[in-house]
């Protein structure tokens, strides 16, 4: 080759090399801007098609390499006219953990730039959330019902309430210990069965299985009925029975208040719909006591209050008086023996009569004038000492001390006896003595008659029952005289007559 040809050839070659070098230097000096835009974690739903996005030089070839430090996967794509690239990469063969995404931009066969980004691969689904709620949604809770439980720490928890037709959903985040609490307005849901469900989504986007729990919504309750009336007294104030009706199984809460202080007690409505709750009112002052009752159902709903105002009085009335005294005799009507006295107007008086073995009781009411009058059949009681007791119970139910007196029941008296009577002669007619025996201290009546004239004389038996009466019989006609003797005992019982006949002047 001549030197001219060599020089020309060398010049051309040098020019091409220089031109190529210049072009290469131009790419090296001004590389296309390369960036990785995607940085989302890889989760179970994206592991086979994890999208790598970025920007580069239009038409440039992009090499994507993703590695877990031991294994790697490679994928190629091209930058589109828009200057962006996007490619799905299957990273299922890589281990969970930190992955390195390397993107190299290749221009005309040369690697012009490379960028890297760290991402997280997490394909394990979080555990199913645990819902700790149970039981009921009641009227107080429904405006802001709190669903609580545990899930994967820091995961998003999607909570739903459904009545089968409507669903209400709210998403909250579990705290560092996995605890979550979602407050939901459940007023739009119908009463009845409510399904609570929850799923959690971790930071990689993996979703757990769904947990469910069935509750009941119950926001209505009927008020109980309160049947009490009257008084709180000395007999019941420590265990005053509050009674009424309600729904079987509901809790009954009773409150008693005197205006400054209150006490409470609780019980249950029985299967028949009745309740009785005893409440101790000893710490409340006498006077007006307001009793309030409410019921609480299984859902925790509280009813309206039923109330009544009673009077508390622990003051006992004074003991009544008994006016009876002396004797009960045969002339008295033993089937309607009357006991009288004084007491507190309006009070109930109970009178009891006893012979020591048998007892008769009767009840009456003290009239407005403060007097009472009761009758009792005392015919079953034996003759002898009768004890009468009386107690009065005030309108508040307090009982007075007992009043006591005694009377003597004496319903029988024997006929007196006469001693032997001599004939009436001129010698004894002016001082004729009639003698005999009767009850001790009895009043003795002596009647003498000749059929035309009569004479009545009286005397008394001594403590031994002996009596004697001297009478002037001189005014009577000669012939037969009849002597009739009766006695009246201390009870004013009248005996049968004892008779005798004597002769005068013959």
Contacts for 12 with CB less than 8 Å, ≥ 6 apart: none
User: Does the pLDDT of residue 32 top 80, yes or no?
Assistant: no
Residue range 327-410, CATH number: 2.60.40.2550
The whole-number average pLDDT for the span 325-345 is 88
pLDDT of residue 305: 95
pLDDT of residue 33: 81
pLDDT of residue 506: 63
Domain with residues 225-311, CATH architecture: Sandwich (2.60)
Which tens digit of pLDDT belongs to each residue from 472-482?
999 999 999 99
User: Does the pLDDT of residue 335 top 90, yes or no?
Assistant: no
Query: Does 417-504 carry CATH code 2.60.40.2550?
Result: yes
Residue range 35-121, CATH number: 2.60.40.10
pLDDT of residue 394: 94
Residue range 130-217, CATH number: 2.60.40.10
Least-confidence region, from 106-110, 125-129, 352-356, 471-475: 106-110
Instruction: List the chain domain ranges.
Output: 35-121, 130-217, 225-311, 327-410, 417-504
Count of other CB atoms within 10 angstroms of residue 477: 12
DSSP 58-100: TT-EEEEEEE-SS-EEEEEEE--TTSEEEEEE--TTSPSEEEE
User: Does the pLDDT of residue 136 top 50, yes or no?
Assistant: yes
Which tens digit of pLDDT belongs to each residue from 62-104?
999 999 999 999 999 999 999 999 999 999 999 999 999 999 9
pLDDT of residue 117: 94
Percent of the chain predicted with pLDDT > 70: 93
Q: Do domains 130-217 and 417-504 have the same CATH topology?
A: yes
User: Does the pLDDT of residue 58 top 60, yes or no?
Assistant: yes
- Nearest to residue 43, comparing CAs of 194, 208, 167, 233? 208
The C-alpha atoms of residue 241 and residue 230 are separated, in whole angstroms, by: 12
Per-residue confidence at 17, pLDDT binned at 50, 70, 90?
A: very low
pLDDT of residue 326: 87
Q: Where in 218-358 does DSSP place strands (E)?
A: 225-226, 231-232, 240-245, 251-257, 262-268, 274-279, 287-296, 306-312, 327-329, 337-342, 348-354
The whole-number average pLDDT for the span 406-425 is 92
């Amino acid at each position: 080759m001549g030197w001219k040809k060599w020089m020309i050839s060398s010049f051309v070659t040098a020019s091409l090399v220089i031109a190529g070098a210049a072009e290469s230097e131009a790419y090296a000096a001004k590389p296309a801007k390369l960036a990785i835009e995607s940085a989302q974690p890889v989760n179970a739903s994206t592991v086979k098609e994890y999208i790598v996005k970025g920007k580069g030089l239009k038409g440039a070839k992009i090499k994507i390499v993703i590695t877990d430090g031991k294994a790697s996967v490679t994928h190629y794509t091209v930058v589109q006219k828009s200057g962006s690239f996007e490619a799905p990469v299957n990273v299922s063969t890589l281990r969970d953990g930190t992955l390195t995404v390397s993107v190299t931009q290749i221009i005309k066969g040369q690697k012009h730039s490379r960028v890297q980004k760290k991402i997280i691969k997490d394909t394990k689904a979080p555990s199913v959330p645990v819902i700790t709620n149970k039981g009921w949604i009641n009227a107080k809770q429904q405006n802001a019902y709190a669903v609580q439980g545990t899930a994967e720490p820091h995961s998003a928890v999607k909570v739903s309430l459904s009545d089968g037709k409507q669903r209400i959903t709210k998403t909250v985040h579990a705290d560092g210990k996995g605890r979550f609490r979602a407050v939901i307005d459940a007023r739009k849901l119908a009463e009845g069965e409510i399904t609570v469900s929850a799923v959690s989504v971790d930071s990689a986007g993996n979703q757990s299985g769904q947990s469910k729990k069935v509750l009941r919504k119950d926001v209505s309750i009927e008020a109980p009925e309160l049947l009490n009336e009257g008084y709180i007294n000395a007999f019941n104030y420590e265990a005053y029975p509050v009674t009424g009706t309600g729904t079987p199984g509901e809790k009954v809460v009773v409150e008693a208040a005197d205006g400054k202080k209150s006490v409470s007690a609780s019980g249950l409505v029985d299967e028949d719909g009745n309740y009785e709750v005893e409440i101790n009112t000893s710490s409340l002052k006498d006077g007006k006591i307001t009793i309030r009752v409410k019921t609480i159902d299984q859902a925790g709903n509280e009813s309206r209050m039923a109330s009544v105002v009673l009077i508390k009085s622990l003051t006992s009335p004074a003991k009544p008086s008994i006016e009876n005294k002396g004797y009960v005799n045969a002339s008295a009507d033993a089937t309607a023996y009357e006991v009288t006295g004084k007491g507190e107007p309006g009070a109930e008086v109970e009178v009891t009569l006893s012979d020591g073995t048998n007892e008769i009781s009767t009840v009456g009411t003290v009239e407005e004038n403060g007097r009472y009058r009761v009758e009792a059949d005392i015919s079953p009681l034996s003759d002898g000492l009768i004890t009468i007791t009386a107690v009065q119970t005030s309108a508040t139910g307090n009982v007075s001390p007992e009043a006591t007196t005694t009377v003597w029941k004496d319903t029988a008296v024997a006929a007196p006896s006469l001693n032997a009577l001599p004939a009436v002669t001129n010698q004894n007619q002016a001082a004729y003595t009639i003698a005999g025996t009767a009850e001790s201290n009895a009043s003795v009546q002596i009647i003498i008659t000749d059929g035309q004239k009569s004479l009545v004389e009286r005397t008394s038996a001594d403590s031994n029952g002996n009596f004697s009466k001297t009478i002037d019989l001189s005014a009577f006609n000669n012939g037969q005289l009849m002597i009739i003797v009766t006695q009246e005992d201390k009870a004013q019982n009248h005996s049968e007559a004892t008779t005798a006949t004597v002769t005068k002047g013959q």
